[in-house]
């Protein structure tokens, strides 16, 4: 099984390259802990999706730590990757990346068996990788995700983007992108684009981008991305998201997607203010023996 780590993001709200920032006592980034947990769950190859301009630093930090320990590969997500010339000319002023769906497409050449895709700047917890690894080992052709209750995924620093999941009888029926979810005095609310607010229950399941897929979906992803490019609502800002791709797989009956319950902790670093909390959680997990003081 393969772990795909999406590490090409710009970190616009964070204001830095959080993919490689040290959170552990041995200089480990958050992605190191995901790789460590995935190895315990039976994954044996890691593909990192990065930008080409990060390659030198990424090799000198992350791959230097991991290279001798497991099979690692790099894939590169650039704004020009898989973009036809006529689309590229139309979006020449674009500075944003094309999103998580596009990032996964950029790794397709390295994926020849069942895989799990995650974000580099999220801590998912060992239980999440355990249930996903068990699922893919038993049913490698069945897509899956590990959802989290929204209350576990908020930041006290500001609003966060999450995909709300509609789950029934253990299967994902649909997911909906919500871009500004925050805890307020009266509860958890998403602020919609028109300024109105939608309240969410604390246990509402959301996607944190931990998906399991068979390699057969990669041809579908190319089809979906081509369709996305033909109808971009905003050529400068629209992104191709994995939850939207999952919706399309379900709607077109190409895949059913299992929702795997896991009592797993999540934390991440959306904002600079999240950094201290993440470091404190890593320190506590290390002190309690969940992780060694030096992972590698």
User: What domains appear along the chain, each with residue ranges and CATH number?
Assistant: 2-147+207-287 (3.90.550.10)
pLDDT in tens, the chain (296 residues): 999 999 997 544 433 467 788 999 889 999 999 999 999 999 999 999 999 998 998 999 899 988 777 899 999 999 899 999 888 888 888 888 899 999 999 999 999 999 999 999 999 999 999 999 999 999 999 999 999 999 999 999 999 999 999 999 999 999 988 989 999 999 999 999 899 999 999 999 999 999 999 999 999 999 999 999 998 878 888 899 999 999 999 999 999 999 999 999 999 988 888 999 999 999 999 999 999 999 98
Cα distance between residue 90 and residue 86, in whole Å: 6
- Return the structure tokens found at 128: 């999440």
Count CA atoms within 13 Å of residue 106 on its CB side. Answer: 28
The alpha-helical segments, DSSP class H, found in 107-262 are: 126-138, 217-230, 242-251
Distance CA 84, CA 87 (A): 5
**Residue 259: in which H helix or E strand, if any?**
strand 257-259
Task: Count Cβ atoms below 10 Å from residue 66 Cβ, excluding itself.
Answer: 21
């Amino acid at each position: 099984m393969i772990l795909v780590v999406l590490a090409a993001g710009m970190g616009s709200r964070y204001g830095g390259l959080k993919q490689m920032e040290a959170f552990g006592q041995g200089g480990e980034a958050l992605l190191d802990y995901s790789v460590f947990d995935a190895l315990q769950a039976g994954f044996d190859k890691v593909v990192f999706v990065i930008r080409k301009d990060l390659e030198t630093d990424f090799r000198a930090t992350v791959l230097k730590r991991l290279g001798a320990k497991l099979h690692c590969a790099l894939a590169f997500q650039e704004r020009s990757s898989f973009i036809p010339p006529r689309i590229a000319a139309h979006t020449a002023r674009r500075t944003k990346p094309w999103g998580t769906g596009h990032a996964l497409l950029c790794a397709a050449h390295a994926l020849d068996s069942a895989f799990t895709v995650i974000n580099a700047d999220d801590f998912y917890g060992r239980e999440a990788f355990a249930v996903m690894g068990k699922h893919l080992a038993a049913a490698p052709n069945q897509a899956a995700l590990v959802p989290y209750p929204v209350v576990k995924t908020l930041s006290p620093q500001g609003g966060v983007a999450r995909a709300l999941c509609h789950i029934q009888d253990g299967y994902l029926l649909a997911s909906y992108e919500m871009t500004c979810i925050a805890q307020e005095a009266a509860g958890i609310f998403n602020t919609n684009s028109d300024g109105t607010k939608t309240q969410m229950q604390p246990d509402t399941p959301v996607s944190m981008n931990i998906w399991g897929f068979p390699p057969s979906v990669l041809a579908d992803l190319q089809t979906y991305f081509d369709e996305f490019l033909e109808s971009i609502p905003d050529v400068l800002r629209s992104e191709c998201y994995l939850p939207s791709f999952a919706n399309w797989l379900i709607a077109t009956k190409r895949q059913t997607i299992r929702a795997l319950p896991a009592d797993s902790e999540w934390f991440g670093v959306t904002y600079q203010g999240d950094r201290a909390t993440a470091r404190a959680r890593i320190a506590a997990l290390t002190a309690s023996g969940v992780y060694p003081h030096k992972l590698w």
